[in-house]
A and B are shown apart, each in its own frame.
Chain A
Amino acid sequence: GAVVSQHPSWVICKSGTSVKIECRSLDFQATTMFWYRQFPKQSLMLMATSNEGSKATYEQGVEKDKFLINHASLTLSTLTVTSAHPEDSSFYICSARETSGRGDEQFFGPGTRLTVL
């Protein structure tokens, strides 16, 4: 199956700083990528849909000015957590569904564990 990578796999930062997480589709092009957040023992909550060449679509309750998404190419989407605070500590996972339409399967990145001190 297709491969989605994420970088970094984990990051620790100080409160008030910004953190950028990269999501790459390695062997396919992804017009659309998705960003999820998962708190311990909870489900994956969709944060936003990242669209190549246009603005991201944010889910209700997600602050677009705090979680900046850029999808500059068909293989890369980035999520920047601005002015991070301890409550932003979570597991962030990106995913992509293959643009070619071969199937509907969604491919997940390995996740990024963010810890804000």
Chain B
Amino acid sequence: GENVEQHPSTLSVQEGDSAVIKCTYSDSASNYFPWYKQELGKRPQLIIDIRSNVGEKKDQRIAVTLNKTAKHFSLHITETQPEDSAVYFCAASRDSSASKIIFGSGTRLSIRP
């Protein structure tokens, strides 16, 4: 079945440095790749997404890249701040309202002051 792998499981970076989280997916028909930030006890919040017709997307300090050939996609956070500390999930899906979204295992990001 569909699978999304995510690495690393934990990541600690110095405030101001960059953080990179990487994911791979198995379903070659996937064409929608969202990234979520989840704080303890809260629902996941969409922070950025990318579709397969685009190789890179950026929103302020957050960027996502997609290599559809290799089935890899990555999240890049620059100039990290304490409020970036959270659990981040990548996900993959086909592009329709009825398609399920499969989550990666999550990365716990800690920003050291």
Structural contact, A99 and B97, CB atoms closer than 8 A: yes
A97:B103 contact, CB within 8 angstroms: no
Min CB–CB distance B26 → chain A (angstroms): 15
Q: Which of B89-113 contact A (CB under 8 A)?
A: 89, 93, 95-106
| CB-based contact B100/A110 at 8 Å | no
The residue that B43 contacts in the complex, of A32, A34, A97, A111, with Cβ under 8 A, is A111
Q: Quick check: A42 and B97 within 8 Å, CB to CB?
A: no
Query: Which residues does chain A contribute within 8 Å of B101, judged by CB atoms?
Result: 34, 46, 95, 106
How many whole Å from A42's CB to the nearest CB in chain B?
7
Number of A-B contacts (CB under 8 A): 61
Expressed in whole angstroms, the Cα–Cα distance for A59 and B3 within the complex equals 13
Band of interface residues on A:
20 to 34
Given contacts A104-B93, A106-B34, contact A43 B104 (CB under 8 A): yes
CB neighbours of B76 from chain A (8 A): none
CA distance A31 to B46 in the complex (A): 21
A106 CB → nearest B CB, Å: 6
Please determine whether A44 and B97 come into contact, CB atoms closer than 8 angstroms: no
Question: B44 to chain A: which residues have CB within 8 Å?
Answer: 44, 93, 108
Contacts of B32 in A (CB 8 A): 104
A49 contacts across to B, CB distance below 8 A? 98, 100
Interface residues of B (CB under 8 A from A): 1, 32, 34, 41-44, 46, 49, 51, 89, 93, 95-106
